[in-house]
Amino acid sequence: MTVKVTEAAAADTGVSAASRARTELARLISYIVFGGVSVVLSSMAAGLPTSRWEPLGAGTFPKLVFALLAVLCLIAAVRSIIEIVRAGGLAGVGAAFTQWLYVRRVAIGLFVLFAVYLGVLPWTGFSLASFVFLLIAQLMIADVSRRTVMQSIIAALIFSVGLNLLFAEVFNVFLPRGVLFAG
């Protein structure tokens, strides 16, 4: 009887250790991302102009906050690495990460699509970039059929060209035209 209890406890410990390792890996990745962003923002804050009247200048407080955040992320990342090693390493993390990516593929795809949208917006302009973004985003989310394609085209036209016309004609605010159509 005690052998079965011991084996069950050992199996449970293995599952919880693997789960802890995966959780710590996710935390480690988030610490690296937030720390990297903090370093970039701290270096950008260094470019803020200095003040004539204050010895510290406008960029001192943001530099201090972001540098402190980067140091805290570094400490937390080291702690996560120690916890991963204590939990027994990263056995099975690759398969779990692949499954995690597969489950969240649409959300990740939408984030990537949004980043591409923001990147091409200055060149193509609001109307064209928004039309393509909205059309692709709707087709990623919906089941593709003839009806959904037509609905997606109509919605993308309304919300890209329609919003551009609304802002230009009613509010007298002009959205980016883009380099391609600036002539």
Name 164's Cβ contacts closer than 8 Å, sequence gap at least 6.
126, 127, 130, 175
Q: What is the pLDDT of residue 10?
A: 46
In the chain, the amino acid numbered 49 is P
Torsion, Cα 111 113 116 122, to 10 degrees, reads -100
Instruction: State phi, psi for 77 to the nearest 5 degrees.
Output: -65, -40
Low-confidence ranges of the chain (pLDDT < 70): 1-15, 182-183
Q: What is the pLDDT of residue 11?
A: 46
The pTM assigned to this predicted structure is 0.63
In whole angstroms, give the CA distance from residue 100 to residue 106.
12
Q: What is the pLDDT of residue 91?
A: 73
